[in-house]
Amino acid sequence: MDFIKHRLRQQLVVNDIYTCYYFEQSNRAQYVAESHDFWEIVYVDKGEVNANTGSGYYRLNQGNILVHSPNELHQLESTGSKAPNLFIVTFRCDDEAMAFFDENKLFRIGTGEHALLARLMKEGLDAFGLNQYPIVPRPEAAFAAEQLFKLYLEQLLILLIRQARSARQQAGQLMSTTAENQSAHMGKRIIAYLEQNLSAKVTLDSLSAQFSMSRTQLNILFKRTVGTGIIVYLNRLRIERAKAYIREDIYNLTEISNLLGYSSVHYFSRQFKQSVGMTPSEYARTIKARNER
């Protein structure tokens, strides 16, 4: 009898790891904005922290995971209340499946994922120690500690994708024709709320409380009716309003930054350039030159 083998498919493989940190920060810690050409996951083990990113502004609480795409500008900032403990891993994965995290950023983990993260941290500590850069394998590490770390990280990413897809499928099954009409109405309400609150630090948590819906349902509903995520849409609104303010030439850049709820004029400038392709000052000079012509 001839045996026919089946080569197991690997749809998500972590190729390299850059950093593996566990931070116990104060509630007044200052963080530097950064971007890099590899992936990053931020897990809040305790406390809370804010995150300014190219995809939006997030309030992260205990049990949240935030995923940063390659080359996405991101900056953590203290909330001033609950001091955070953060587990951060940066890694390279070139598989197509990772495109899922370009649109799906924020997750709340359950008991299973929490246990998996605990094993991931344990293997990282054993394999190369936390908070070491560059990473150097520990000679006394247990057998295949690095491989287990890689497998746990891959398993975590796979479970996050499955979790979000399952929630999306369940939400989709509940949609009827009436629900579609209600979704369109709700989408308009959310857009109106965003337009009226561009100066506020709008988060999925605050929107969830405002519209009495879970964050997952809210984002799925909005994306289904509008075609993009809420935070991405909010960023576009702010940039378009900023361009209008610049053309009107009433406010200076610092005032525009404050009016639109940015944490600093420097962060506003980076976000503007990422979206428009030029800094606010360059955009203003372009408009002025065009008017003069």
Share of the chain above pLDDT 90, in %: 46
Burial 196-220 (b: 16+ CB within 10 A, else e): eebeeebbbeebbeeeebebbbbbb
- Lowest mean per-residue pLDDT among 129-133, 172-176, 210-214, 269-273: 172-176
Architecture label for domain 176-231:
Orthogonal Bundle (1.10)
For the domain bounded by 16-172, which CATH number is listed? 2.60.120.280
Buried b (16+ CB within 10 A) or exposed e, 39-75: bbbbbbbebbbbbbbbbbbbbbbebbbbbbbbebbbb
| Averaged confidence pLDDT in the chain | 88
176-231 shares the fold of 16-172:
no
Q: Which pLDDT score is estimated for 67?
A: 96
Residues with Cβ within 8 Å of 56's Cβ and at least 6 positions away in sequence, in order, are 105, 229, 230, 231, 232, 234, 235
In 3D space, the residue among 231, 237, 230, 241 whose CA is nearest the CA of residue 53 turns out to be 231
Asked if 198 contacts 230 with a C-beta cutoff of 8 angstroms, the reply is no
pLDDT in tens, 216-262: 888 888 888 888 888 888 999 999 899 989 888 888 999 999 989 88
Is the peptide bond between 134 and the residue preceding it cis, with omega within 30 degrees of 0? yes
Cα–Cα distance between 62 and 182 in angstroms, integer?
Answer: 32
**pLDDT category of residue 292 using cuts at 50, 70 and 90:** low
Residue 175 has pLDDT above 70, yes or no: no
| CATH number among 3.40.350.10, 3.40.50.720, 1.10.10.60, 1.20.1090.10, domain 233-292 | 1.10.10.60
**Which pTM value belongs to this model?**
0.64
Q: How far is CA 185 from CA 188, 211, 229, in A?
A: 5, 12, 16
Q: Classify residue 89 as exposed, middle or buried by CB count within 10 Å of its CB (0-12, 13-18, 19+).
A: buried
pLDDT 10s digits, 235-245 = 999 998 999 89
Question: Whole-angstrom Cα distance, residue 65 to residue 68?
Answer: 10
Domain ranges of the chain: 16-172, 176-231, 233-292
